[in-house]
């Protein structure tokens, strides 16, 4: 490669990096002017660092304070998989609001949430202090100031608009969160609507489970029993994924963090057993049946990895199964249909 071509390549790579690099600019403060709900992400600045021991004083001062950048995506912050904590900072400016206000981090899957919320000093000359919260699903459930499946933090009154508030997030998996600011009335509506929504979801799943349990007791077809067990695993998964498991049962954090992965492995294994029984693959398509047995084994492996606490490996296994599962089910259904299995039509 000639020198000119090499320089051109380097210049092109630099241009791409410049286009995709985060914008190192201050986000405007969020103005509270009487609404019940505000999307906070446009007013958030982000600092990602491999240094796990950064303190609040360090991120408030150079050089770290100059490394914050505005969010590339809003209203949901997709912060990816990080080997260190992610710091968020924001400012609020109240004009004609409806205090008290609450900050919600709309995600139940954050292991550590350390919040430092600016509050006014005792005098005009004094330094601002911070109201602190330390919560997350790797900490006891009673560390949450509001008993809810996501993380809701009451904001101090009269937050100084010139002063940043800070949130430190850490997760072993992907960090995806949508932050909101709620008024008291808005939060009450949010909690009420959330209860109704998940009540409908769990009610439909329970009705499906009871219907198939009735079919099993009437027809004695084992496929219906597998489907009942599968729906139970789906309910378990939904509860653990969306946070109801944590706040309803208040178990130890180590159990709560493993619950979603155990449920995911159960779903994979039981869905496979239902498919085998419903399509009769052991008799009609032995090769497809072998593939299903391997998939079920991977589901059991996921359960084992979760129980021993290998969360990084179980995350990889769960995502692989999630990608392969629908493809395998459709493929096996097509094979069974070509073999003349009539139930494959309903399956597909």
- Output Rg (C-alpha) for the chain, integer angstroms: 25
**Lowest mean pLDDT, pick from 74-78, 80-84, 135-139:** 80-84
Q: Same domain, yes or no, for 28 and 177?
A: yes
Q: Same domain, yes or no, for 110 and 248?
A: no
Q: What is the pTM of this model?
A: 0.87
pLDDT, tens digit, 9 for 90 and up, residues 183-228: 999 999 999 999 999 999 999 999 999 999 999 999 999 999 999 9
Domain assignment present for residue 203? The answer is no
| Final residue of a structural domain among 183, 207, 240 | 183
What is the number of structural domains in the chain? 2
| Residue 157: pLDDT band with limits 50, 70, 90 | confident
| Residue 243: pLDDT band with limits 50, 70, 90 | very high
d(CA 241, CA 234): 10
Q: Same domain, yes or no, for 29 and 171?
A: yes
Q: Same domain, yes or no, for 248 and 114?
A: no
Domain assignment present for residue 7? The answer is no
Domain assignment present for residue 225? The answer is yes
pLDDT, tens digit, 9 for 90 and up, residues 219-230: 999 999 999 999
Q: Rounded mean pLDDT of the chain?
A: 90
**Lowest mean pLDDT, pick from 3-12, 257-266, 308-317:** 3-12
Domain assignment present for residue 129? The answer is yes
- Quick one: what percent of the chain has pLDDT higher than 90? 77
Backbone dihedral region for residue 243 (phi beyond 0: left; psi -120 to 50: alpha; all else: beta) = left
Q: Same domain, yes or no, for 169 and 256?
A: no
pLDDT, tens digit, 9 for 90 and up, residues 90-110: 999 987 667 899 999 999 999
* pLDDT > 90? residue 293: yes
Q: Same domain, yes or no, for 28 and 169?
A: yes
**CATH number of the domain encompassing residue 112:** 2.60.40.2380
Q: Same domain, yes or no, for 239 and 141?
A: no
| Final residue of a structural domain among 183, 211, 235 | 183
Domain assignment present for residue 6? The answer is no
Q: Same domain, yes or no, for 64 and 129?
A: yes
Q: Same domain, yes or no, for 250 and 153?
A: no
Domain assignment present for residue 68? The answer is yes
pLDDT at residue 66, rounded to an integer: 95
| Final residue of a structural domain among 183, 210, 242 | 183
Domain assignment present for residue 310? The answer is yes
Domain assignment present for residue 324? The answer is yes
Give the range of the structural domain holding residue 37, as residue numbers without chain letter. Answer: 22-183
Q: Same domain, yes or no, for 231 and 168?
A: no
Q: Same domain, yes or no, for 61 and 171?
A: yes
Q: Same domain, yes or no, for 53 and 132?
A: yes
């Amino acid at each position: 490669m000639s020198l000119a071509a090499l320089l051109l390549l380097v210049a092109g790579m630099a241009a791409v990096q410049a286009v995709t690099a985060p914008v190192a600019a201050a986000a405007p403060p969020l103005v509270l002017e009487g609404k019940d709900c505000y999307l906070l992400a446009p007013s958030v600045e982000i600092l990602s660092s491999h240094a796990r021991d950064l303190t609040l004083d360090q991120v408030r001062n150079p050089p770290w304070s100059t490394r914050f950048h505005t969010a590339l995506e809003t209203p949901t912050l997709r912060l990816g998989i990080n080997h260190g904590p992610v710091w968020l900072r924001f400012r609020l400016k109240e004009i004609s609001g409806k205090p008290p206000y609450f900050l919600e981090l709309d995600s139940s899957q954050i292991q550590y949430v350390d919040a430092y919320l600016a509050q006014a000093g005792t005098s005009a000359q004094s330094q601002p202090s911070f109201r602190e919260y330390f919560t997350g699903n790797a900490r006891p459930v009673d560390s949450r100031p509001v008993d809810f499946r996501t993380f809701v933090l009451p904001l101090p009154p009269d937050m100084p608009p010139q002063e940043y508030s800070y949130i430190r997030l850490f997760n072993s998996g992907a960090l995806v969160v949508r932050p909101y600011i709620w008024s008291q009335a808005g939060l009450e509506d949010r909690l009420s609507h959330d209860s109704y929504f998940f009540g409908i979801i769990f009610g439909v799943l329970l009705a499906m489970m009871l219907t198939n349990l009735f079919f099993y007791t009437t027809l004695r077809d084992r496929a219906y029993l597998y489907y009942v067990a599968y729906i139970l695993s789906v309910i378990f998964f939904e509860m653990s994924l969306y946070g109801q498991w944590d706040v309803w049962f208040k178990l130890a954090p180590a159990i709560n963090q493993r619950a979603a992965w155990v449920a995911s492995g159960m779903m994979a294994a039981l869905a496979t057993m239902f498919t085998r029984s419903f399509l009769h693959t052991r008799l009609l398509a032995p090769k497809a049946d072998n593939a299903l047995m391997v998939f079920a084994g991977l589901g059991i492996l996921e359960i084992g990895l979760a129980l021993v606490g290998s969360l990084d490996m179980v995350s990889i296994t769960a995502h692989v199964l999630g990608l392969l599962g629908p493809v395998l089910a459709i493929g096996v259904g097509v094979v069974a249909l070509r073999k003349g299995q009539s139930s494959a039509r309903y399956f597909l």
